[in-house]
Amino acid sequence: MSKERKFIPLNVAVLTVSDSRTMDTDTSGQYLADQLQIAGHTVCAREIVIDDVYLLRAQVSTWIADSSIHAVITTGGTGFTGRDSTPEALIPLFDKEIDGFGELFRHISLQDIGTSTVQSRAVGGMANKTVVFCLPGSTGACKTGWNGILKEQLDSRYRPCNFVSHTDAVEAD
């Protein structure tokens, strides 16, 4: 007989990467924050940082150094314009890359945006027991990422596996 898994709420930081959005106009970051709260998680930090490798790296480094933050979700900066630098900023921080995240995101996105999905550089990784997911900046892409991957992978009850067990949330429980 299998034992029912218990929901473990995560403390999640949400980072919007943008040169132009404000908290009032950040529909993507707001969508993610709302969905995290609906799912039972705590949005413990939410920031907007311009597309700058070192500013992005500094903000996310601060969060991954904080053992009370279990996950970071970023939105924006994953495209091909000259200013898009989220992967370059954050991949060096990862202890391990989650290759399947970007692959699955692009697979799911194919249904919505066709072959334009090849221009998505969505990435994920683990850093200091913090799971980091980098989504494109559109609200549609955030909906795709949340509903298609993150909602389940950030839920400790999801089987056969999820990312909660790789974070410090399990130790804090």
Distance CA 161, CA 155 (A): 9
* Residue 76 included in any domain: yes
* Residue 4 included in any domain: no
Q: How many other β-carbons are positioned within 10 Å of the β-carbon of residue 110? A: 13
- What was the pLDDT predicted at 4? 81
Residues 51-80 have pLDDT tens digits of: 999 999 999 999 999 999 999 999 999 998
CA 133 to chain CA mean position, Å? 3
* Residue 6 included in any domain: no
* Residue 108 included in any domain: yes
Average pLDDT estimate for 2-27: 92
The CATH number given to whatever domain includes residue 140 is 3.40.980.10
* Residue 106 included in any domain: yes
Exposed/middle/buried for residue 152 (C-beta within 10 Å: 0-12, 13-18, 19+)? middle
Residues 91-106 have pLDDT tens digits of: 999 999 999 999 999 9
* Residue 5 included in any domain: no
* Residue 3 included in any domain: no
* Residue 117 included in any domain: yes
Average pLDDT estimate for 37-59: 98
Range of the domain at 15: 11-172
Sorting pLDDT into bands at 50, 70 and 90, what band is 22? very high
CA 157 to chain CA mean position, Å? 19
Q: Is the pLDDT of residue 89 over 80?
A: yes
Residues 106-164 have pLDDT tens digits of: 999 999 999 999 999 999 999 999 999 999 999 999 999 999 999 999 999 999 999 99
Q: Is the pLDDT of residue 1 over 80?
A: no
Q: Is the pLDDT of residue 3 over 70?
A: no
Count up the domains in the chain and report the number.
1
- What was the pLDDT predicted at 52? 96
- What was the pLDDT predicted at 173? 58
